Amino acid sequence: MNSNLDRDSNSAYEWKIVALMSLGFGLVGIDRFMIMPLFPVMMKDLRLDYQDLGHITSALAVAWGVSALFTGRLSDRFGHRKVIIPAMIVFSLLVGASGVAGSVGALIMIRALMGFAEGAFTPASITATLDGSKPTRHGLNIGIQQSAMPLFGLGVTPILATQLLKVVPWHWIFGIVAIPGLILSYLTYKVLCNTSASVAADHTQTHDQADHKWHDVLRYRNVWLSVIGMLCWLTCLIVLSALFPNYLVDYLHLSLEQMGFVLSAIGAGGALGTWIMPALSDRIGRKPVMVISVAGALAASLTLSQTGPHPALLFVFLMATIFFIFTMITLTVGPISVEAVPAKLMTTASGLVIGVGEIFGGGVAPEVAGYVAQHFGIQYILHLGTGALVLGLAVVLFLRETAPVKLKSAVALAGAHYVPPEQLNKL
């Protein structure tokens, strides 16, 4: 199973790896976001407050980001298997440990360790998915893989968790999700292959399979813009997923069941957004889809902030906001950054984007949001996400196109049969 991938002799590998990496990322979503709908109950048992939730959320995000920064390079150097499989085993065990935590300090420690394992899995799984896909299906396949996180973590989990609370204590709910992760780890061990540089080079616009130093990734404009973009997208997402449950219960005075229903819009919108729009980007280009998405997210979030205690309307506007946010996250950590760099920097680029975005967007944002909620009122947290999207709109206007269909059109219009990589990057 350590041999390089030969797609000609194993055409089924593409769909096997997309399925496994999708299920893996779905479990990551469950592990990460399970605590959000359970927190209104946990805070009573453990005597926690809004600021504690900010600390717990940011600890996982910062650990996730630090891990992604360093393990992305390890994956490029030593292969995906040595990163992905151990990470899956570790985060599956640690989510179960969250259920036995008896204090905020224990929760922070466990969630931070879990974040480190999930941060190692994420960029490596993205590159493994792209390496196993045909270049013309990058957007579609990475969208399928990324859709599992909101579908399971943010769609199914809020409803499942709130319903399970009726029959079992919150401690047991964390333990339930550990077993599927261990089973999936074994299946991944049986299927996942490392990919040669020559095969991986087909998935980038540079077609460069040479060795590079890690800091060479900083030479590419899309990487820098993707880092800034991720700060914006994650700020909006984390605010909505971390403190929005309490906003619905404490400020709008919805019941727990109503809150679970509204939060399921995050999963539905995220799953559709990661799938539909990235697939569309394979046809019309990455940049047009990004511009449409940031404008759509901004309009929907402004409307959401003005909506009262009406579960159906809250569901619709939250779903629309998340639909576009997850489109932007999917394209940012995947094709926009990965397609722009040489083969041996693919996971490094994705890891850098994810890492910095998680540390600052996912780490700082919940701390700020928790402080605002605690000292000024939880109703003001939505303004943080709106401000981040305004900055994101400026960022996407400067992206370089990386979709193969658009690059081929540009070459054809230029009347050229071959464009050097350094010039192709400027098209």
Phi, psi of 194, rounded to the nearest 5 degrees: -75, 155
Mean pLDDT in residue range 248-271? 85
Q: For residue 291, what pLDDT band results from cuts at 50, 70 and 90?
A: very high
Average pLDDT, rounded, for the chain: 82
Evaluate if residue 209 carries a pLDDT over 50. yes
Query: Do the beta carbons of residue 204 and residue 40 sit within 8 Å?
Result: no
Query: Do the beta carbons of residue 243 and residue 294 sit within 8 Å?
Result: no
Evaluate if residue 356 carries a pLDDT over 60. yes
Residues recorded for the chain: 427
Residue 214: both structure tokens together: 């890690």
- pLDDT digits over 95-124, tens only? 888 888 778 888 889 989 999 999 899 989
Mean pLDDT in residue range 380-384? 84
Q: For residue 359, what pLDDT band results from cuts at 50, 70 and 90?
A: confident
- pLDDT digits over 122-145, tens only? 989 988 898 888 878 888 898 899
CATH superfamily, domain 13-424, is MFS general substrate transporter like domains (1.20.1250.20)
Evaluate if residue 200 carries a pLDDT over 80. no
Question: Distance (Å, rounded) from C-alpha 95 to C-alpha 365?
Answer: 23
Evaluate if residue 427 carries a pLDDT over 60. no
Query: Do the beta carbons of residue 352 and residue 69 sit within 8 Å?
Result: yes
- pLDDT digits over 298-326, tens only? 999 999 989 989 999 999 999 999 999 99
**How much is the pLDDT for 364?**
77
Please compute, for residue 336, the number of CA atoms within 13 A of its CA located in the half-sphere on the CB side.
34
**Which of 290, 266, 301 minimizes the C-alpha distance to 384?**
301
User: pTM for the complete prediction?
Assistant: 0.76
Mean pLDDT in residue range 395-402? 91
Q: For residue 77, what pLDDT band results from cuts at 50, 70 and 90?
A: confident
Evaluate if residue 221 carries a pLDDT over 50. yes
- pLDDT digits over 140-196, tens only? 898 899 888 878 886 788 788 888 888 888 888 888 888 888 999 999 999 998 765
Work out the burial of residue 342: count CB atoms within 10 Å of its CB; fewer than 13 is exposed, 13-18 middle, 19 or more buried.
buried
Domain definitions of the chain by residue range: 13-424
- pLDDT digits over 24-59, tens only? 999 998 888 888 788 788 887 887 777 787 788 778
Question: Distance (Å, rounded) from C-alpha 170 to C-alpha 163?
Answer: 11
**How much is the pLDDT for 409?**
57
Question: Distance (Å, rounded) from C-alpha 80 to C-alpha 347?
Answer: 9
DSSP string, 212-265: --GGGGGG-HHHHHHHHHHHHHHHHHHHHHHTHHHIIIIIS---HHHHHHHHHH
Evaluate if residue 19 carries a pLDDT over 90. yes
- Chain CA centroid to CA 330, Å: 7
Evaluate if residue 417 carries a pLDDT over 60. no
Which residues does 409 contact at the CB level (< 8 Å), separation at least 6? none
Tell me, what amino acid is at 14?
A: E
Q: For residue 210, what pLDDT band results from cuts at 50, 70 and 90?
A: low
| 39, 106, 151, 347, 368 from 46: Cα distances, Å | 10, 11, 29, 39, 22
Which residues does 47 contact at the CB level (< 8 Å), separation at least 6? none
